[in-house]
């Protein structure tokens, strides 16, 4: 099933495991953050991360090349609603578990607004996983190479390269000048549209670190000779990033340098940027890229000088990133569909009408699964409890519906996401929002792309007075619903 799947999984056996509640980092000043982040580095269990990512569902893969990538990154959500990114290394990476954990702890102690925060890790048997904050507004690569509505503005491109340079300067000051494979997929945008550098590049993909995952045409010359990642090689990679930002394409450095030598800057410039920049600003960006791409490592600039050169180019400091990016903040988001509006105003009666009208049509094929299980009297009795629960749900006897649905679920039967959705709403009707949230999350475990599950999570979070988290869930549900077409025949 691909990432654009338009149907929920038909059914799934219910997990009995409940992940423990985890504490999000304190949102104080940077000095306080350092203490907080160090103390909240978590050693997750594999079961916790399975639950958070819906069983490492393919729908939750956010890394380039999907499940074919050597190390796969998933988006996920902990029970306290904190959104996370989970990097799952391949089975041969990090054979030494202690070395892996020690390195992860060191990376977690870095704290900068320019760097995504590493909050934990997991090692069980031969599994090695990193857990970081989730950045919801895609990668620089997505906004440069695969944009859908409008290309990235010149002012935002300058902000990106400045903040990446500031991240590199910070890392250098902390003795972490080795960053592996800097490229547009390593630059992420937070919920406010601010560009940040992924912390995953600080953890090498193998025990000796002699890896370079992108096309070798973009690798520093010295890497091709020695196979070693160096601080000077990082500056070379930053030069390729400058070219990506200017051109809107992933141009091999050798070709770009030919264009620069021929003074053919128009061929090197994204045509969508026409009229957005002064020629001297473009010239300076090209000059910086040329310096970074010098063949001899010692002739390249350092991160501090890059920051000093980029600051004067960034003119629109007062404009928020989300404005430049054209991103609607969750706090100002208004759903446009009947279900979204009902959840936003906590109209439980309207939600009930929508769920009742929907029935089980999103669980296509579930009847066949259940008929197979009805071969025994025990399964027949279990299925009867579900039928009675449906009748009680229809008649708005929500307390009895909860009891009947629970009897069916506790029998260990194959359970559909719609049934969890119905029990979730029943809990809301009975003023049990925490139980409602658990059921809505379980529905999402069964079907990661089902918008109903996210809408019900939003409703439960509103009831729990967790408005910020509810708004995020509401926006997420709206995005999923826009991709959802139950009549498309897929």
Q: Name the residues annotated as catalytic.
A: 181
Structure letter (DSSP) for residue 115: B
Structure letter (DSSP) for residue 50: H
HSE toward the beta carbon, residue 61, CA cutoff 13 A: 19
Quick check: 174 and 109 in contact, CB under 8 A? no
∠ CA 431-434-437 to the nearest 5 degrees? 110
Residue 114 Cα to chain centre, angstroms:
17
Query: Which of 340, 284, 335, 346 minimizes the C-alpha distance to 310?
Result: 284
Alpha helices in 174-310 (DSSP H): 221-226, 231-247, 253-261, 279-292, 303-310
> What distance in Å separates the CA atoms of residue 428 and residue 300, rounded to the nearest whole number?
61
Sign of CA dihedral 95, 96, 98, 102: negative
> What distance in Å separates the CA atoms of residue 178 and residue 10, rounded to the nearest whole number?
46
Quick check: 200 and 256 in contact, CB under 8 A? no
Quick check: 229 and 212 in contact, CB under 8 A? yes
**Neighbour-count burial for 148-180, b at 16+ CB within 10 Å, e otherwise:** eeebbbbbbbbbbbbbbbbbbbbbbeeebbbbb
65 sits in the region (left: phi over 0; alpha: psi -120 to 50; else beta) called left
Quick check: 144 and 184 in contact, CB under 8 A? yes
∠ CA 76-80-81 to the nearest 5 degrees? 45
> What distance in Å separates the CA atoms of residue 108 and residue 103, rounded to the nearest whole number?
9
Quick check: 192 and 473 in contact, CB under 8 A? no
Structure letter (DSSP) for residue 336: -
Q: Name residues whose C-beta falls within 8 Å of residue 106's C-beta, 6 or more positions apart in sequence.
A: none
**What DSSP string runs through 295-313?**
SSGGGSPPHHHHHHHHGGG
Task: Give the bridge partners for 415, in sequence order.
Answer: 12
Residue with tokens 């609607």: 328
Give me the phi and psi of 119, to 5 degrees please.
-110, -10
Task: Give the bridge partners for 132, in sequence order.
Answer: 85, 118
């Amino acid at each position: 099933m691909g990432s654009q799947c338009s149907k929920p999984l038909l059914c799934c056996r219910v997990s009995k495991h409940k992940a423990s509640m985890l504490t999000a980092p304190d949102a104080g000043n940077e000095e306080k953050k350092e203490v907080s982040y160090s103390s909240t580095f978590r050693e997750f269990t594999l079961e916790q991360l399975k639950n958070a990512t819906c069983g490492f569902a393919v729908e939750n893969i956010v890394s380039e090349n999907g499940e074919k990538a050597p190390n796969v990154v998933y988006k996920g959500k902990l029970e306290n609603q904190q959104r996370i990114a989970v990097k799952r290394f391949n089975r041969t990476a990090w054979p030494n578990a202690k070395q892996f954990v020690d390195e992860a702890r060191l990376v977690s102690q870095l704290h900068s607004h320019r760097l995504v925060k590493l909050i934990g890790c997991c090692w069980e048997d031969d599994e090695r996983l990193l857990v970081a904050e989730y950045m919801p507004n895609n990668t620089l690569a997505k906004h440069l190479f695969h944009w859908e509505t409008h290309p990235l503005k010149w002012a935002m491109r300058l902000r990106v390269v400045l903040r990446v340079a500031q991240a590199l300067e910070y890392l250098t000051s902390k003795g972490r000048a080795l960053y592996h494979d800097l490229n547009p997929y390593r630059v992420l945008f937070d919920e406010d549209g601010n560009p940040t550098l992924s912390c995953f590049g600080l953890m090498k993909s193998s025990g000796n670190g002699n890896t370079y995952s992108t096309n070798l045409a973009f690798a520093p010359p010295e890497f091709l000779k020695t196979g070693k990642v160096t601080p000077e090689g990082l500056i070379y990679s930053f030069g390729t990033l400058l070219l990506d930002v200017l051109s809107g394409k992933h141009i091999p450095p050798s070709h770009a340098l030919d264009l620069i030598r021929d003074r053919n800057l128009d061929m090197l410039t994204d045509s969508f940027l026409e009229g957005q920049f002064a020629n001297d600003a473009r010239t300076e960006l090209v000059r910086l890229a040329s310096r970074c791409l010098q063949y001899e490592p010692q002739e390249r600039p350092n991160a501090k000088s890059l920051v000093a050169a980029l600051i004067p180019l960034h003119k629109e400091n007062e404009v928020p990133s989300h404005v430049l990016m054209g991103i609607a903040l969750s706090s100002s988001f208004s759903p446009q569909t009947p279900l979204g509006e009902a959840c936003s105003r906590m109209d439980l009666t309207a939600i009930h009408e929508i769920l009742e009208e929907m029935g089980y049509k999103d669980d296509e094929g579930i009847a066949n699964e259940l008929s197979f299980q009805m071969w025994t009297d025990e399964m027949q009795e279990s299925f009867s409890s579900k039928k009675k629960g449906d009748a009680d749900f229809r008649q708005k006897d929500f307390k009895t519906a909860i009891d009947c649905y629970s009897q069916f679920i506790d029998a260990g039967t194959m359970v559909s996401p719609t049934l969890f959705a119905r029990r979730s709403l029943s809990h809301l009707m009975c003023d049990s929002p925490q139980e409602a949230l658990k059921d809505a999350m379980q529905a999402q475990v069964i079907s990661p792309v089902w918008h109903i599950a996210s809408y019900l999570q939003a409703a439960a979070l509103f009831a729990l007075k967790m408005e910020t988290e509810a708004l995020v869930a509401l926006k997420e549900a709206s995005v999923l619903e826009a991709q959802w077409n139950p009549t498309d025949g897929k």
